[in-house]
A = this chain, B = another copy of it.
Amino acid sequence: MSGSSDLIALAERVLKTARRKGFTLVTAESCTAGQLAKILSEAPGAAEHLHGGFVTYTKDQKTKALGVSAGLLRAKGAVCRDVAIAMAQGALVRSPAQYAVAITGVAGPDPDEDNNPVGLVCAAVASETGETLHFERRYGNIGREAVCAHAMRDALAELIDAMERVKPRVSA
């Protein structure tokens, strides 16, 4: 019920990769508001490889729950590369997980309080080894659900890429 069939298939690939490599996961979400954690939780292996997530809908929650700098949020707004990376890193240190994936964006229908356009999304992946990846996408004003679906799809693909690049944590 939480996602389209391709998103569900992608979530299953994420959990399969995590299991094969011996990693556990945590999420940090703004515009997707818990949907990413929910979709991952429905994939086989979630009980062993998904620790949970953080839904930080407001700037204050990003600061209080994830330690994102209030100054950074004031200076650059909530939707930028640096905030996505800070969310992922903040989630990682507040979880036993080895990988964190973070999404912050403007789902619409209106631009955000900093006048970022609908469809702008920044995402990041952080690992306990210190590696961080990030991307910025402009999906356009295609509707809330479509913005969130695109953002989750691209973020999960990035997470798989990151996990695939490293050696397994446990022998298979």
Interface presence of A128 (CB below 8 A): no
Number of copies: 2
Q: How far is the CA of A42 from the CA of B57 in the complex (A)?
A: 12
Return 26 A-B CB contacts under 8 Å, by A number: A1-B2, A1-B145, A2-B35, A2-B38, A33-B37, A34-B35, A34-B36, A34-B53, A34-B55, A35-B38, A37-B55, A38-B38, A41-B57, A46-B57, A47-B57, A50-B57, A51-B60, A52-B54, A52-B55, A52-B56, A52-B58, A52-B65, A54-B65, A61-B95, A64-B94, A65-B95
Checking B35, B36, B58 against A51 with a beta-carbon cut-off of 8 angstroms, the contacting residue is B58
The chain B residue with its CB closest to the CB of A54 is: B54
Secondary structure at the A interface, as helix, strand, loop or mixed, is mixed
Query: In this complex, which of A46, A52, A56, A95 has the most chain B Cβ atoms within 10 angstroms of its Cβ?
Result: A52
Please indicate the chain B residues that have their CB under 8 angstroms from the CB of A29 in the complex.
Answer: 34
Interface presence of A89 (CB below 8 A): no
Please indicate the chain B residues that have their CB under 8 angstroms from the CB of A111 in the complex.
Answer: none
Please indicate the chain B residues that have their CB under 8 angstroms from the CB of A55 in the complex.
Answer: 27, 34, 37, 41, 52-55
Residues 1-49 of A contacting B (Cβ, < 8 Å)? 1-2, 26-27, 29, 32-38, 41-42, 46-47
Please indicate the chain B residues that have their CB under 8 angstroms from the CB of A94 in the complex.
Answer: 64-65
Query: With A52-B56, A61-B96, A94-B64 known to touch, is A38 a contact of B27 (CB < 8 Å)?
Result: no
